[in-house]
Chains A and B, each alone.
Chain A
């Protein structure tokens, strides 16, 4: 998947997550801020990495502000952000 521009998806309401995708010309970086970082920070990171791999996305900066979203929501928001960035 080729990303062309910066894009955002999601909201900062409870049980949601806001994800920003910024294509850049260097190694990928993922920043996670989460209400449940201690309990789930690692799992959120793993999930994001696996979706990036699945979609063949590299050289991107991902900023995540999580308000206790379940995996399906994180996954949907990231896919939306990637979809928008690829437009």
Chain B
């Protein structure tokens, strides 16, 4: 089953106090940032710090993502040379505009994997789309590489590019969100929404999360651990949905046992979309991994 990515938590790559135990907040993914949150003078130290953290800190199986600088900057290549060796789960490319951006970076990652005895293809990729051009190329980006596990909207740069700004209702993002979401779904990868930067506005954040969940997004990039619980709460299925999902799964198992081709529940036929939805509900409810949950 596809990995849950309800929350991708940013952590500035040069902050040891945050990096050392960011896992305690239990986001679905941790994203170490080497890009916008790091000043030009500290690019090197953030790179070394994230690399050492990935090698030495136990992130308890939480997906580790590193946002590197673009290859069009003087830092991008050095970031990859240092970080790929440290084996994060995912490299996130910022400001992706074309599928060539992905293939260019993929070639370098493959070369570094080869040089360091890392199975080629082990390092996954994630692309952030932050411009009108990127949004229009969303599908070709989404299908550009087998390594690509998801695409994300970066709205701050995007709205500037559109010559507008962000509104509480997010009407200016409707097209980009729809485009990115559809591209991701067509490519069968994750779709992650942009950040919400006003930490103190819990109500506004809630509204936006409900909005993007309804659109179909898998989750959101977040900038403060305080936002995690809210997202997970909104994404949590209702007890009724869980109950129904369990019934669906039970019906399938029963049908398999009886070698019956037609599966029905309460007189209604169960088809593939219903099963998929049920599986997703149970995944969001954490039913599958309940046993192994150790509460950290």
Contact = CB atoms under 8 A, between A and B. Distances in A.
A16 B52 contact: no
A79 B86 CA distance: 15
Interface in B1-47: 16-17, 20, 44-45
Interface in A26-75: 69-73, 75
B49 interface: yes
Chain B at the A interface: SS class: helix
Interface stretch (B53-61, B67-75, B106-114, B280-288): B53-61
Contacts of A4: none
A80 B16 contact: no
Given A72-B53, A72-B55, A75-B52, A15 B45 contact: no
By size class, the interface of chain B is 10 to 19
Contacts of A72: 20, 49, 52-53, 55-57
A24 interface: no
Interface residues of A, number: 18
Contacts of A84: 44
A9 B52 CA distance: 15
A76 interface: yes
Pick from A9, A14, A70, A77 the residue with the most CB of B within 10 Å. A70
Interface of B: 16-17, 20, 44-45, 48-49, 51-53, 55-57
19 contacts: A9-B48, A13-B17, A15-B17, A16-B17, A70-B16, A70-B56, A70-B57, A71-B56, A72-B55, A72-B56, A73-B20, A73-B49, A76-B16, A76-B48, A76-B53, A80-B45, A80-B49, A83-B48, A84-B44
